[in-house]
Amino acid sequence: MADLFGSTEPDHGARRVVDDDWVGRPLADRLRPRVLSEVVGQEHLTGPDGVLSRMLASGTLGSLILWGPPGTGKTTLARLLANETEFAFEQISAIFSGVADLKKVFEAARMRRRSGRRTLLFVDEIHRFNRAQQDSFLPVLEDGTVVLVGATTENPSFELNAALLSRARVLVLHPHTQASLAQLLERAEQAEGRELPLDETARLSLLRMADGDGRAVLTLAEEAWRAARPGERLDEAALQRVLQRRAPIYDKSQDGHYNLISALHKSVRGSDPDAALYYLCRMLDAGEDPLFLARRLVRMAVEDIGLADPQALVVCNAAKDAYDFLGSPEGELALAQAAIYLASAPKSNAVYVAYKSAVRTAKQNGSLPPPAHILNAPTKLMKSEGYGQGYEYDHDAPGAFSGQDYFPERLGRRTFYEPTDRGAEREIGRRLQHWDARRRERDDRSRD
């Protein structure tokens, strides 16, 4: 598997013929780094003061989990670590391997160890192993039979069990920046001995299409060379026609999904309509279900705007109905309108806080009966037990407010909802203050 490549040495502009099938191999594979210093884009790991550089300088190598998006160099780094330490390199994929395959690898590593050579076992997509399969690594890690280097695109905290994580160090690989992708293109041009047939705007467009993936940028470059006629120089529009477009890296059930919906929610909460619109469009562009986004917008309306703008919930439900009615792509505009409305609205989480507080109180105090005066009494027995006695019909009271207590007697009156002074809650707060004053007047009269 090919990953990221680059060079800091002056003689790397020459074509490197490694074997007889050079011409038939993909560009990304031909340009795979031969030493750690050639790796581009992960300087926090491979630079002079990087984690891996320090580890190799100490003469020791521990088990690692390499976590990062596609095309950032996980496979390449594992191979280079084996070369640098002169470990035997074994590679398996969790997609195609099971416990039987692992047992064979472990037994080969034991035999190798008896002859004085250690084994680096590289496991691609390690998060796809189930819990029992992950547990099978524990004995061979503890006795040093293998040094494990696992690669994953998913958050190890969620996908790998704690026992395995406690025996391996997690290293994070970053997506490529525009600058590091540009380095890879320059390296490819040096190796090929020719420039890419792209003008400046097309070159920038190709970098954007790669979406932080080093392997992808070299694959796209190779396609551009194939597509261009002799002497032709492609502009941005021509490049996009030739290459179409690369789907954004986004798995609707994994980190990309949760990271972007979190970014959208926090942008709304932070009253930034432009950022909210950007993340909404990112998710729609990646193929997210618009109705999922509609549901989350409704959640934002009740959690972060609440009664500061009661229309927010109405707008979000209307946007969902509009999407149902119009379908795609016209319906997405209604979602965009709702997102902008939410981000622009006054904010209050007072309802959210009140709800959580009331839930805690309800759970902590059990099945307390309401006070007898507000219980219905449809039978003589219930009337004889005092049900409904003393109840005051609020519409018959002055100002349609009796001021009676409706909490269970053993609980006493509580305050859960405390409106802010923002938006419509300012008026709600004034109403509550008025009723609280009336309630205190009633209490004072009852004491007299």
d(CA 59, CA 81): 11
326, containing H or E segment: helix 311-326
Classify residue 341 as exposed, middle or buried by CB count within 10 Å of its CB (0-12, 13-18, 19+): buried
- Percent of all residues in the chain with a pLDDT value above 70, rounded to a whole number: 92
Query: What's the pLDDT at 15?
Result: 41
Whether the per-residue pLDDT at 20 is higher than 90: the answer is no
Residue 40: pLDDT over 90:
yes
CA torsion through residues 114, 120, 123, 127, sign: positive
pLDDT at 448: 65
- Is 249's pLDDT higher than 80? no
Q: Which residues pair with 64 in a beta bridge?
A: 149, 169
Q: What is the pLDDT of residue 2?
A: 39
**Residues facing 191 on adjacent strands:** none
Question: Containing H/E element for 103?
Answer: helix 99-114
Closest CA to 216 of 5, 45, 7: 5
pLDDT value of position 359: 94
Q: Where do we find the tokens 């009494």?
A: 377
Instruction: Give the pLDDT confidence score for residue 289 in this predicted structure.
Output: 87
pTM above 0.75, yes or no: no
Give pairs for 80-85: CB < 8 Å, separation 24+.
80/33, 80/35, 80/36, 80/39, 81/52, 81/56, 81/120, 81/149, 82/120, 82/122, 83/35, 84/35, 84/36, 84/56, 85/56, 85/61, 85/118, 85/120
Q: In the block, which residue shows the tokens 């392997």? A: 215
Specify the pLDDT at position 375. Answer: 87
The predicted structure's pLDDT at residue 19: 47
Residue 14 clears pLDDT 80, i.e. is over it:
no
How many other C-beta atoms are found inside a 10 Å radius of the C-beta of residue 412? 8
- CATH 1.20.272.10 residue ranges of the chain are 255-344
CATH number of this structure's domain 363-447:
1.10.3710
Query: What pLDDT does residue 427 have?
Result: 95
Residues contacting residue 147 through CB under 8 Å, at least 6 positions apart: 61, 62, 63, 87, 118, 119, 120, 121
Mean pLDDT, rounded, for 44-71: 91
Q: What is the pLDDT of residues 321-366, one digit of tens each?
A: 999 999 888 999 999 999 999 999 999 999 999 999 999 999 998 8
Q: Which CATH architecture has domain 42-172?
A: 3-Layer(aba) Sandwich (3.40)
Structure-model confidence comparison of residues 255 and 10, the more confident one: 255
- Under CATH, which number does the domain 255-344 receive? 1.20.272.10
User: Given a cut of 70, is residue 248 above it in pLDDT?
Assistant: no
pLDDT at residue number 242: 83
The whole-angstrom separation of Cα 97 and Cα 113 is 23
CA-nearest of 402, 415, 398, 397 to 442 is 402
Helix (H, G, I), strand (E, B) or coil at 349: coil
* CATH 3.40.50.300 placement within the chain: 42-172
- Give residue for tokens 């562009």: 285
What does the mean pLDDT of the chain come to? 88
Which of 17-31, 159-173, 186-200, 204-218 has the least mean pLDDT? 17-31
